[in-house]
Amino acid sequence: MKSQFRHIALIGKYHQPVAGGQQASSRQVLERVIHFLHAQGCDVVLEKETAAGSGITGHQVLDVEGMGRECDLALVVGGDGTMLGFGRQLAPYGVPLIGINQGRLGFITDIPLNKIEETLKPMLRGEYEVDDRAMMHAKVWRDGHCVFDAQALNDVVVNRGATSGMVELRVEVDGQFVATQRADGLIIATPTGSTAYSLSAGGPLLYPSLPSWVMVPIAPHTLSNRPLVLADPGEIVIDLVSGRDASANFDMQSLASLLLGDRITVKRSQHRARFLHPRGWSYYDTLRKKLHWNEGVA
């Protein structure tokens, strides 16, 4: 059976060797995937930075806009950070992504390097699980003007400065006052982001399809200030009341410096990232493997 996908974008890390001490270089992995895709009758496009960094030539090269316009699938060879970045950028175009895990953890890049061909072959024929992930649309407002605008797939994080004390943040949800919090910062995470910084700060795990977010204080001054799960909010508003050198991070991949009086608004994005997993994929299996549950159990 021929591939369901004809025009596939290949995106990859290319600066460091494969994790785990394996001998294959990043370029070798990319070339291996290209050879496999050609054997399936697929046209392969290289993402612009991937082509420049890997030195692989002889293929069409496109930027994100070009991939979104021309490709019907993106294959990401890398870690969760690479998958998040391109998932966010390709979401407006509706291009699905498949992740090949060249990183360390792999919550969303779930194809191991030693099973690329045997896992991808049925997926290209249409045997896969669809996993749509909600995103956030955040803005930073100053004196009534938007000074920063970003999408986030994992989280929006307001942090104190590196050498300063706590920040004081006034929080509203859907126009209702929640609390004024004094802490090292505040995390607003999607279900996808619930396994990232939010988890490290003591937040709960959220099933990926839940229409909810979690709000997690970072080292709060008041110990009764606990993580709060929010039901599909219309808007979260965070005002910076006090604190020096504070910043707002979006998926830890873009950053805005904040001034006193700045307002951060967070809404659900109109776009969703679409990940494809092997047939039979289970979120619970992923948690069990990545978080090492049941280790030592016979």
CATH number assigned to the domain comprising residue 253: 2.60.200.30
Cβ neighbours for 90, distance < 8 A, ≥ 6 positions apart? 64, 67, 68, 74, 97, 273
Do the domain assignments include residue 2? no
pTM higher than 0.85 for the full model?
yes
Do the domain assignments include residue 102? yes
Number of domains in the chain: 2
Cβ neighbours for 12, distance < 8 A, ≥ 6 positions apart? 26, 29, 30, 47, 50, 54, 76, 77, 78, 82, 102
CATH number assigned to the domain comprising residue 97: 3.40.50.10330
Do the domain assignments include residue 159? yes
Could you give the residue ranges of the DSSP H alpha helices within 102-141? 116-124
pLDDT at position 165: 85
**Residues spanned by the domain of 255:** 135-270
Do the domain assignments include residue 256? yes
Along the chain (298 residues), what's the average pLDDT of each consecutive run of 10 residues?
Answer: 87 62 69 95 95 91 96 94 94 96 81 92 95 96 96 96 87 95 96 95 96 95 92 91 93 92 96 96 91 73
Does 170 lie in the same domain as 235? yes
Does 213 lie in the same domain as 243? yes
Do the domain assignments include residue 145? yes
Catalytic residues, which ones? 80
Does 106 lie in the same domain as 179? no
Does 71 lie in the same domain as 16? yes
pLDDT at position 109: 87
Does 265 lie in the same domain as 141? yes
Does 244 lie in the same domain as 141? yes
Do the domain assignments include residue 167? yes
